[in-house]
Amino acid sequence: MLQTLHYSLSDIKDEVQTLLGKGAVSRVQPIYTLCQHFSYREWHQVEHLLERHNYLLRDQIGDLVPSECWSND
């Protein structure tokens, strides 16, 4: 029996943060680069969810996560 996974936009953003933290992706890469980190079935769902939220696959991964703030020491 196949299990259907349901992602929310928040789940995807959390996964992107994790991938960024590991150095697996960079903020300037296009969103479609993320397909390498999801199974085919997962990616199909992720792609549709992103499109529903007006993200284009050519947009930068950094558009999915908040910008980083650096304070001066």
Give the confidence band of 66 by pLDDT, cuts at 50, 70, 90: confident
What six digits make up the tokens of 58?
Answer: 């050519």
pLDDT in tens, 15-59: 999 999 999 999 999 999 999 999 988 999 999 999 999 999 999
> How far apart, in whole angstroms, are the C-alpha atoms of residue 38 and residue 29?
16
Specify the pLDDT at position 2.
44
49 backbone dihedrals φ, ψ, rounded to 5°: -65, -45
- More confident: 33 or 71: 33
What six digits make up the tokens of 29?
Answer: 């890469």
Other CB atoms closer than 10 Å to residue 48's CB: what's the count? 11
User: So where are the chain's domains?
Assistant: 9-64
pTM for this one? Answer: 0.80
